[in-house]
């Protein structure tokens, strides 16, 4: 399947699942494995029998560039790093960061004013990247990127393309001085420079803040009392920059795209925002009263899950859906496919946020919808991302309406993450939130 998978991984997995059912055998180059689409089997691999699985060798490509950080490490190292970082993502800590998220969203709203006035298209994918990068850098690293601010997003794009395309390659040309490899090395150097800048600045001005960066820098090994090595610290900061910025920005980009294609849903969202917020900026407590907003975001991540697919490798033989999974074989879990299976989703390709209403979700198996993964390796930043995306959409959708540039091809591109292959140029129109009708003046005759 290697050439077909290289051309169209999402299509190959989707067709396999539709044609052959819950467990589909794949041979991809030298590797063998199963695509799993029964939520019970997904639960088994990611959660119930997670100890029997490591992230698959496909992550080696990511490891080559990210090193062994929280996203890519295993066993004791993973557990230690997860324990160090976890407190930064407790609900209370994350809700306390809502102010930073809201402020960044308002800055973006102000930045868009001239674009709206000129009616010129804006690359919304790039805008969202900038916005979520600002949030991660400010909220978790308490930093700014100094001279790297203007180059880092382009560097990520190059790295994502390089690593994403090489996922399925056998790596024969990895070390060659080709144009592609040189471009990748240059992008890596930019990222390394940015991360070093953040760490050096914090060392120069030690702050008494208790953000994620402080936690990483002050953590001490329980047995040896030693701090993380500089290299491990670098790896973790890079991991959080990548994992925190890229996926969240794509969730937002696809949300804007889907809203522009579904004017009725957009209208309903605007009505909810106008009625609840009455033109003021949203704050964290408002989110509990904006159910449709949350459903829109859940539905966008169903259709375009930013982490579109992941995989595991069995450490020992296992049994799945009545089949033997031998040691060393892979298990593919592909949210893009799970999220569109007709068995769990009526009219699966339609954008229908209300399918996430409590009534319509009640009978759906939990593991049929896993944009943040599941089990011990579930995304550490899921609350952070959900609060951030809701605040950003609520802020910007009050002030603007985004229209996809006519005839633009918004084809998804499954790299490490699911990017829009040709970007997402959109026209930004200003809108005035409808004010709640004010109370009629009291009748003076009474
Ligand atoms: C919409 C936004 C996001 C999506 C869709 C997403 C998705 C995911 C998924 C699917 C995984 C598990 C991958 C696997 O099992 O192989 C994961 C892991 C991870 N995510 Fe996220 N993520 C998002 C936002 C964030 C944010 C905001 C952060 C941090 C600020 C973050 C940090 C991480 C880290 C560190 C891991 C590795 C956790 C571990 O293995 O212990 N993510 N994410």
CB 144 within 8 A of CB 43: no
Ligand 1 within 6 A of 386 CB? Answer: no
Ligand 1 within 6 A of 379 CB? Answer: yes
CA distance 122 to 21: 42
Phi, psi angles (nearest 5°) of residue 312: -130, 160
Name the DSSP letter for residue 304.
S
- The best mutation among 135, 216, 247 to test binding of ligand 1, ranked by most ligand atoms within 8 Å of the C-beta, falls on 247
Tokens standing for residue 225: 């009392």
Question: What pLDDT is recorded for position 437?
Answer: 60
Cα of 375 vs centre of ligand 1, distance in Å, is 12
Cα of 429 vs centre of ligand 1, distance in Å, is 33
Nearest to 352 by CA among 302, 399, 290: 302
Question: What pLDDT is recorded for position 444?
Answer: 47
CA distance 414 to 419: 6
Cα of 94 vs centre of ligand 1, distance in Å, is 15
Cα of 297 vs centre of ligand 1, distance in Å, is 16
SS3 34: strand
Residue 375, Cα to own-chain centre: how many angstroms? 17
* Mean pLDDT, 10 residues at a time, the chain of 446 residues: 89 97 93 96 98 91 86 93 90 92 97 94 96 93 87 88 75 73 92 92 84 88 84 93 93 98 98 95 97 98 97 97 95 98 97 97 96 97 97 98 97 93 97 71 49
Nearest to 414 by CA among 312, 305, 311: 305
What does each C-alpha distance from 391 to 95, 266, 372, 388 come to in angstroms? 11, 16, 19, 5
Q: Is the Cα torsion angle 174, 176, 182, 185 positive or negative in sign?
A: positive
Ligand 1 within 6 A of 312 CB? Answer: no
Ligand 1 within 6 A of 248 CB? Answer: yes
Name the DSSP letter for residue 47.
I
Nearest to 258 by CA among 294, 221, 300, 292: 300
Cα of 246 vs centre of ligand 1, distance in Å, is 10
Atom of ligand 1 nearest to the CA of 301: 5
Tokens standing for residue 286: 């408002």
Atom of ligand 1 nearest to the CA of 85: 35
Atom of ligand 1 nearest to the CA of 389: 1
What does each C-alpha distance from 70 to 11, 237, 244, 330, 375 come to in angstroms? 30, 10, 12, 21, 15
Angle at 372 between CA 369 and CA 373, to 5 degrees: 75
Among protein residues, the one with the nearest Cα to ligand 1's atom 1 is 248
CB 41 within 8 A of CB 23: yes
CA distance 214 to 404: 41
Among protein residues, the one with the nearest Cα to ligand 1's atom 30 is 244
CB 391 within 8 A of CB 86: no
Ligand 1 within 6 A of 250 CB? Answer: no
Tokens standing for residue 171: 């790596």
CA distance 237 to 232: 9
Please name the residues in contact with 235: beta carbons below 8 A apart, sequence gap of 6 or more: 66, 67, 68, 69
> How are beta strands 330-333 and 31-36 bridged, if at all?
parallel
Strands of the sheet containing 122-123, edge to edge, are 122-123, 425-430, 400-404
Cα of 380 vs centre of ligand 1, distance in Å, is 6
Residue count (the chain) = 446
Among protein residues, the one with the nearest Cα to ligand 1's atom 11 is 379
Ligand 1 within 6 A of 152 CB? Answer: no
Nearest to 420 by CA among 8, 124, 78: 124
* Plot region of 307 (φ>0 → left; ψ -120 to 50 → alpha; else → beta): beta
- The best mutation among 237, 379, 386 to test binding of ligand 1, ranked by most ligand atoms within 8 Å of the C-beta, falls on 379
CA distance 303 to 336: 7
- The best mutation among 371, 381, 384 to test binding of ligand 1, ranked by most ligand atoms within 8 Å of the C-beta, falls on 381
């Amino acid at each position: 399947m290697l050439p077909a998978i290289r051309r169209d991984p999402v299509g190959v997995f989707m067709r396999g699942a539709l044609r052959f059912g819950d467990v589909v055998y794949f041979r991809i180059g030298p590797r063998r494995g199963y695509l799993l689409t029964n939520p019970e089997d997904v639960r088994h691999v990611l959660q119930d029998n997670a100890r029997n699985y490591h992230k698959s060798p496909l992550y080696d490509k990511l490891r080559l560039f990210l090193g062994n950080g929280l996203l890519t490490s295993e066993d004791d190292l993973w557990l230690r790093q997860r324990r160090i970082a976890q407190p930064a993502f407790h609900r209370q800590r994350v809700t306390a960061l809502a102010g930073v998220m809201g402020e960044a969203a308002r800055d973006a709203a102000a930045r868009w004013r001239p674009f709206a006035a000129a009616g010129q298209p804006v690359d919304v994918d790039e805008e969202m990247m900038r916005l979520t990068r600002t949030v991660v850098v400010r909220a978790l690293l308490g930093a700014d990127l100094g001279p790297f601010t203007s180059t880092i997003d382009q560097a990520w794009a190059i790295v994502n393309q390089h690593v994403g395309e090489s996922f399925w390659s056998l790596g024969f040309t990895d070390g060659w001085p080709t144009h592609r490899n040189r471009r990748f090395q240059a992008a890596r150097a930019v990222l390394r420079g940015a991360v070093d800048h953040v760490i050096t600045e914090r060392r120069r001005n030690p702050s008494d803040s208790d953000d994620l960066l402080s936690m990483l820098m002050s953590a001490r090994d329980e047995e040896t009392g030693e701090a993380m090595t500089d290299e491990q610290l670098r790896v973790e900061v890079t991991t959080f920059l990548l994992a925190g910025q890229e996926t969240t920005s794509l969730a937002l980009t696809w949300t804007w795209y889907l809203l522009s294609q579904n004017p009725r849903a957009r209208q309903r969202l605007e009505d909810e925002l106008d009625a609840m917020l009455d033109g003021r900026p949203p704050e964290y407590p408002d989110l509990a009263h904006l159910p449709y907003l949350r459903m829109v975001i859940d539905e966008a991540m169903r259709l375009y899950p930013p982490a579109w697919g992941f995989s595991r490798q069995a450490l020992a033989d296992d049994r799945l859906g009545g089949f033997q999974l031998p040691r060393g074989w892979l298990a593919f879990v592909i949210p893009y496919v799970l999220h569109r299976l007709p068995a769990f989703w009526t009219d699966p390709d339609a954008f229908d946020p209300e399918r996430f209403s409590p009534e319509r979700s009640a009978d759906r198996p939990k593991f049929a919808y896993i944009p943040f993964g599941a089990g011990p390796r579930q995304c550490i930043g899921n609350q952070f991302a959900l609060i951030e995306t809701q605040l950003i959409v609520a802020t910007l959708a009050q002030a603007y309406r985004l229209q996809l540039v006519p005839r633009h091809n918004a084809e998804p591109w499954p790299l490490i993450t699911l990017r829009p292959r040709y970007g997402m140029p959109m026209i930004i129109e200003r809108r005035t939130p409808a004010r709640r009708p004010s109370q009629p003046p009291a009748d003076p005759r009474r």
